[in-house]
């Protein structure tokens, strides 16, 4: 409730506080300061830093797992294509048997990626994240950091990534 020392000039006893001396403090008697606004800003900064750190930590786990899924998917597809080309329908049957070796890698990689996407969407509240996001063309190579770097380097990598699509279709070879 300190009166403004410049009241003799301004004729306003609480002008420093925008006439709200109960909300604004004035430690030196020269200008108003609302500690609640600063506290809210600091809390928002801490929450934002926590969310970005959590997002990076999730990406550190899910991006390599997604690459395992994608590699197993492509390897299985290559085997299926090569044996089918060489031996026709019988080659495709052999490829189905050989391809069972890639099922655990596909399941593990896609499961971890979907779990990370769910955490980003439902826990961190990251916009435009969904478990069913792989069929959507995007400018990100992988993860939240590679896309901005690619754009900064003027690289436009747009790709329909394999995985769980918006319509529920799952890219899976076996």
**Cα(116)–Cα(118) distance, rounded to whole angstroms?**
5
Q: Summarize pLDDT for 44-87 with one digit per residue, the tens.
A: 888 888 888 898 899 899 989 999 999 999 999 999 999 999 99
Q: What is the mean pLDDT of residues 133-158?
A: 56
| pLDDT at residue 166 in the model | 78
Q: What is the mean pLDDT of residues 16-43?
A: 67
Average pLDDT of the chain is 78
Question: What's the pTM value of the predicted model, to 2 decimals?
Answer: 0.65
The domain spans of the chain are 1-49, 59-174
Contact 162, 134 (CB under 8 A): yes
| pLDDT at residue 91 in the model | 94
Contact 21, 11 (CB under 8 A): no
Q: Radius of gyration of the chain from Cα atoms?
A: 28
């Amino acid at each position: 409730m300190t009166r403004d020392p410049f009241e003799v000039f301004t004729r306003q006893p609480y002008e420093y506080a925008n006439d709200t001396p109960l909300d604004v403090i004035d430690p030196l008697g020269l200008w108003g300061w609302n500690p609640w606004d600063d506290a809210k800003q600091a809390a928002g900064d801490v929450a934002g830093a926590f969310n970005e750190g959590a997002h990076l930590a999730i990406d550190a786990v899910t991006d390599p797992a997604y690459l395992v899924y994608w590699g197993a998917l492509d390897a299985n597809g290559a085997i299926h294509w090569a044996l089918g080309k060489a031996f026709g329908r019988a080659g495709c049957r052999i490829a189905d048997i050989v391809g069972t070796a890639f099922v655990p890698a596909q399941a593990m990689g896609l499961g971890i990626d979907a779990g990370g996407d769910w955490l980003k969407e439902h826990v961190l509240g990251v916009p435009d994240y969904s478990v069913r996001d792989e069929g959507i063309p995007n400018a990100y190579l992988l993860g939240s950091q590679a896309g901005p770097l690619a754009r900064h380097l003027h690289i436009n990598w747009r790709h329909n990534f394999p995985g769980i699509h918006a319509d529920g279709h799952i890219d899976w070879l076996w």
